[in-house]
């Protein structure tokens, strides 16, 4: 399974979130509000909302913030209307970048994202320039003990309908078809596994190795993108090297 860059992004974001709590809370509030607007405010009937709420709790978002975001999405409170769209382009070392955006001002966001690409030596491209490299997948992150039997986890995931599984530090990453994500997640929980997060991502097997100065520039670029309030997710096809691991702090 080639999901390393997204896993590294997640670890990196968690390591920095204490200093960036305001931005994290704002992003999660947007995500929850949009999920509630599109699928209703009942997490039991809206799996997208439920997973967004679970992710927000993992990020330390207070319950009152979550409840307020749901009410904004359902119209119980005054709410800004956010648009969902994507930006695509190339970063240092020829890496492909696919950004998921939630914004209340598309023109402002476009100018700011273009500035970040230019600042870090990248190129903001046209729609479709890199999207063809990525496939929509369901991803479930499991937290497990170090002595867990990998074969048992693999068997449980396969029987649940997962497509692939990879051991990572502290657990496993399980990949599933988007339509089966909720069923796989529920089955793994019923088998006693701790699901840290579950959601839809963009996955690619088209990898680019990045080293040296390009690696350093790419990490700084990803930091700036993830700090931007309108950028919900950043997907890239860089291959994690020892140098990148060091830059991420281990």
Express each pLDDT in 164-210 by its tens digit.
999 988 899 999 999 999 999 999 999 999 998 888 999 998 888 88
Predicted local distance difference test score (pLDDT) of residue 16: 53
Q: In the structure, what pLDDT confidence band is assigned to residue 114 with cuts at 50, 70 and 90?
A: very high
Domains defined for the chain, CATH in brackets: 4-74 (1.10.10.200), 83-132+207-247 (3.30.70.980), 135-203 (3.30.70.980)
Identify which has the larger pLDDT, 25 or 9: 25
Whether this prediction's pTM lies above 0.85 is answered by no
Burial tier of 204 (Cβ tally within 10 Å: 0-12, 13-18, 19+): buried
CA dist 143 → 2, 173, 192 (Å) = 19, 9, 11
User: Could you tell me where the beta strands, DSSP code E, fall in the chain?
Assistant: 83-90, 96-103, 123-124, 135-143, 164-168, 171-176, 194-203, 208-209, 231-236, 238-239
Taking a C-beta distance cutoff of 8 angstroms, is the pair 188, 157 a contact?
yes
- pLDDT, mean over the chain: 86
Express each pLDDT in 44-70 by its tens digit.
999 899 989 988 998 889 999 999 999
Q: In the structure, what pLDDT confidence band is assigned to residue 240 with cuts at 50, 70 and 90?
A: low
């Amino acid at each position: 399974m080639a999901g390393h860059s997204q896993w590294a992004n997640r670890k990196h974001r968690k390591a920095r979130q204490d200093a960036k709590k305001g931005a994290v809370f704002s992003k999660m509030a947007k995500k929850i509000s949009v999920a509630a607007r599109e699928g209703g405010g009942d997490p039991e009937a809206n799996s997208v909302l439920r997973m967004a709420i679970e992710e927000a709790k993992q990020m330390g978002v207070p319950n009152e913030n979550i409840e307020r975001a749901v009410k904004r999405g359902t119209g119980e409170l005054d709410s800004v209307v956010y648009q969902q769209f994507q930006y695509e382009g190339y970063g240092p070392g020829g890496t492909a970048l696919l950004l998921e955006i939630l914004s209340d001002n598309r023109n402002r966001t476009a100018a700011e994202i273009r500035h970040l690409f230019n600042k870090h030596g990248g190129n903001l491209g046209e729609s479709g320039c890199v999207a063809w490299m990525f496939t929509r997948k369901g991803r479930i992150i499991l937290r497990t003990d170090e002595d867990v039997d990998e074969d048992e986890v693999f068997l449980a995931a396969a029987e649940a309908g997962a497509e692939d599984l990879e051991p990572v530090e502290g657990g496993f990453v399980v990949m599933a078809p988007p339509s089966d994500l909720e069923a796989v997640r529920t089955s793994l929980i019923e088998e006693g596994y701790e699901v840290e997060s579950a959601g839809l991502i963009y996955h690619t097997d088209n990898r680019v190795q990045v080293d040296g100065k390009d690696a350093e520039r790419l990490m700084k670029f990803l930091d700036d993108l993830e700090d931007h309030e309108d950028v919900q997710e950043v997907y890239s096809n860089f291959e994690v090297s020892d140098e990148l691991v060091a830059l991420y702090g281990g």
